[in-house]
Amino acid sequence: MEKIRLLIIDDSALIRTMLSKIFESSAAIEVVGTAADPIIARDKIKKLKPDVLTLDIEMPRMDGLTFLRNLMRLRPMPVVMISTLTEKGAEVTLEALAIGAVDFVAKPKVDVANTLNAYAEDLIAKVKAAAKANVRSGSSSVSNQSNHKQAANISTKLNIQDKQATTPKKHFVTTEKIIAIGSSTGGTEAVKNVVKGLLTTTPAIVITQHLPIAFSASFAKHVNEVTEMKACVAEEGQVIKSGHIYIAPGDRHLLVIRHGTHYVCQLNDGPLVNRFKPSVEVMFRSIAQNVGSNAIGVMLTGMGADGAVAMKEMRDAGSTNIIQDEASSVVWGMPGEAYRQGAAHYVQPLDQVAAQILALVK
- Candidates 37, 83, 210, 279; catalytic one: 210
Rounded CA gap, 137 and 74, in Å? 9
To the query of whether residue 210 is one of the catalytic residues in this protein, the response is yes
Length of the chain: 362
Burial class (CB in 10 A: 0-12, 13-18, 19+), 213: middle
Residue 210's contacts (CB-CB under 8 Å, 6 or more residues apart) are 183, 184, 185, 187, 276, 278, 302, 306
Which of the following is catalytic: 10, 56, 306, 325?
Answer: 306
State how far the Cα of 34 lies from the Cα of 56, in Å rounded to an integer. 12
Contacts for 348 with CB less than 8 Å, ≥ 6 apart = 151, 322, 323, 324, 325, 356
Given CA atoms 272, 273, 274, 279 in this order, what sign does their dihedral have?
negative
Distant-in-sequence, close-in-space partners of 276: CB < 8 Å, separation ≥ 6: 184, 210, 306
The catalytic residues are: 184, 210, 306
